[in-house]
Chain A
Amino acid sequence: MKTETLKPVMGYIAGLLFGLGLAISGMTDPARVLGFLDLFGAWDPTLMFVLGGAVVTNFIGYRLVFKRTAPIYGEAFQLPTRQDLDGRLIGGAALFGIGWGLSGYCPGPAIASIAGLSLPLVAMLVAMVAGWYVARKVA
């Protein structure tokens, strides 16, 4: 098959693995996420295992992948090159953290939870997309 045909297939597989991972780990339940963030309440360590498992797996995976000079179906690895810390990075991360703490949703679980359609979730998603547009205007 042609590379251009296969690219979306590779994207689907990546998305499916990601969505399955979120669902199996319970990250599609905001209560569990908030339980992790509530260090001073009945702390739920699950998210620590999710992030730890993902980072370690990907750390090993990236080391193997970067032995290649280019991705299988792409021209080059597209990696961020910036090294500096700036106000936008830290301020943005802080704003995101407040929203995450209020809702228990970061973008992945919020989008993956679409099938559980509820009005508050729709509000969350619409506002998140609006926020992305605002960030583009500001940037």
Chain B
Amino acid sequence: MDWSSSLSGLAGGILIGLSATWLMATLGRIAGISGIIGNLITVRPRGDSAWRLTFLLGLISGPLLLMLLGGGLGNVAGTGIDVTGQVIGAPAGGVALMLVAGLLVGVGTGLGSGCTSGHGVCGLARLSPRSMVATLTFLVAAIITVYVMRHVVGGGA
């Protein structure tokens, strides 16, 4: 097993956990990306959008900061596209596949009230039964999807 990538994963995970704790401590909010950004774009709640927008900017500037620091920290992407070096990996498919995937991710996280961060990082930490069921469901669905794409269909993702 590759312990250095596991340790980088753990370090990054701790930062994500700290982010979620920070947002709850300061603003009293769940750090769910689909909720924060989804509501920012589709609802634009009056008086409740500024922190969502700055959260979005922070989220984008995280990987940028790592690039500025040289990009060699933590786990690097094996298939990085040239301009951004190794921090951000290349998409795993073309435009058509990503349109389908994006629609499913958007509709699914919208209907299911959360994604890997809201249900996973925050919901599991709150021991929420809904989040436990949601997390198990999307993990199993994703594992089956990858199995079908890689080992049944053969090509694809």
Residues of B within 8 A of A (CB): 1-2, 5-31, 33-34, 37-38, 41-43, 50-67, 73-81, 83-84, 87-95, 97-113, 115-117, 119-126, 128-130, 133-135, 137-147, 149-151, 156-157
Beta-carbon contact of A23 and B62 below 8 Å: yes
Count of CB-CB pairs between chains A and B under 8 Å: 539
CA distance A61 to B118 in the complex (A): 15
CA distance A54 to B5 in the complex (A): 16
Residues of B with C-beta under 8 A to A90: 112, 133-134, 137
Beta-carbon contact of A123 and B99 below 8 Å: yes
Residues of A with C-beta under 8 A to B112: 88-93, 95-96
Beta-carbon contact of A73 and B26 below 8 Å: yes
Closest residue of A by beta carbon distance from B126: A62
Contact of A25 among B12, B20, B106, B135 (CB under 8 A): B12
Of the listed residues A64, A103, A110, A126, the one surrounded by the most CB atoms of chain B closer than 10 A to its CB is A103
Looking at chain A's contact residues, the main secondary structure is helix
Residues of A within 8 A of B (CB): 7-32, 34, 37-41, 44-59, 61-62, 64-65, 68, 70-80, 82-85, 88-108, 110-116, 118-121, 123-136, 138-139
CA distance A79 to B75 in the complex (A): 33
Contact of B21 among A58, A89, A108 (CB under 8 A): A58
Residues of B with C-beta under 8 A to A26: 5, 8-9, 12, 74-77
Contact of B104 among A16, A31, A61, A131 (CB under 8 A): A131
CA distance A26 to B15 in the complex (A): 13
Contact of A19 among B7, B17, B63, B97 (CB under 8 A): B63
Min CB–CB distance A121 → chain B (angstroms): 5
